[in-house]
Structure 1
Amino acid sequence: MTQSRGRRRFGILVPFTNTNIEPDMVLLRPDGVSLHFARMGGYDQDEIPDADQMHGLGAADLTEPLHLLQGVRPDV
Structure 2
Amino acid sequence: MTNPADAGLTVKAMMEEHVRLMGEIHATQAQLLRTALQRQRDTVATAVTNVAQKIEGQTADFLAIVGQFSNEI
When the two structures are superposed, what TM-score results if normalisation uses the length of structure 2? 0.20
Pick 1 or 2: higher relative contact order, CA cutoff 8 A, min separation 6.
Answer: 1
Higher strand share: 1
Over alpha carbons, which structure has the higher Rg? 2
- TM-score, length-normalised on structure 1? 0.19
